[in-house]
Amino acid sequence: MTVKVKKPRPVNLDLQTIRFPLTAIASIVHRVSGVITFVSISILLWLLNMSLSSPEGFASAADIVDSFFVKFVLWGILTALFYHIVVGIRHLMMDMGYFEEMETGIASAKVSFAITAVLSVFAGGLVW
Ligand code: HEM
C-alpha cells in the first residue's frame, strides 16, 4: 500500500526579510543609474539646444536652471552619471578578472560608493 505524503509547498517569499548582498545592490543601482543617464540625455540636449538657439534662448535656459528644484535634479543626474562611470569601470575590471572573490568584490563596491560620494559633493559644487 502506498502512503501519500503531503509535499511541503513552496513558501511565499517575504521580500522584506530578504537582504541583498552589497555587491548585488551595487549592480542593481548601476543598471538604474544607466537608465537615469539615458533618460536625462534627452532633457540635457533639450536644454543645450535652447541655450544655443539665441541670446533669448540662453536666458530662458539659464532661468530654468536657476530654480532649486531643477538644480537638485541636475545634481541627481550628475551623481547617477558619476556612479555609473565609477561602477562601470569596476565592472570592466571584473570582466578582466579583478575583484571576483566575495571579499574583494565587497571591498571594491565600498570603494566605488566612497568615490561616488566624493564626486557627488563635487557635482553639488558645480551645480550650486
Ligand atoms: C550616456 C552614457 C551612458 C548610458 C546612457 C549608459 C546606460 C547603460 C545602461 C542602461 C546599462 C544597463 C544595461 C543592462 O543592464 O542591460 C549600462 C550598462 C553598463 N554600462 Fe553604461 N551607460 C553610459 C555610459 C557608460 C560609461 C561611460 C561606462 C564606463 C565606465 C559604462 C559602463 C557600463 C557597463 C560596464 C555596463 C554593464 C554592466 C553589467 O554588466 O551589468 N556606461 N549602461
How close is the Cα of 63 to the center of ligand 1, in Å? 32
The predicted-structure confidence for 102-123, as pLDDT tens digits, reads as follows: 999 999 999 999 999 999 999 9
Domain count, the chain: 1
Question: 90: CA distance to ligand 1 center in Å?
Answer: 11
Task: Give the domain extent around 88.
Answer: 22-127
- Residue 11, in any domain of the structure: no
| Residue 111 belongs to a domain | yes
Residues of the chain with pLDDT under 50: none
Closest among 94, 101, 115 to 21, alpha carbons compared? 101
Query: Is residue 80 a part of any domain in this protein?
Result: yes
> Which grid cell sits at 22?
552589497
Q: Is the minimum distance from the CB of 37 to ligand 1 under 6 angstroms? A: yes
Model pLDDT, residue 9: 77
Residue 7 lies in a domain: no
**15 located within any domain:** no
4 domain residue, yes or no? no
* 9 C-beta neighbours (distance < 10 Å), count: 6
For the domain that residue 116 is a member of, what is the CATH number? 1.20.1300.10
The pLDDT assigned to 1 comes to 60
In a domain, 17, yes or no: no
Predicted local confidence at residue 102, as pLDDT: 95
Which ipTM was obtained for this model?
Answer: 0.90
Site to substitute for ligand 1 among 29, 30, 98, most atoms within 8 A of C-beta:
30
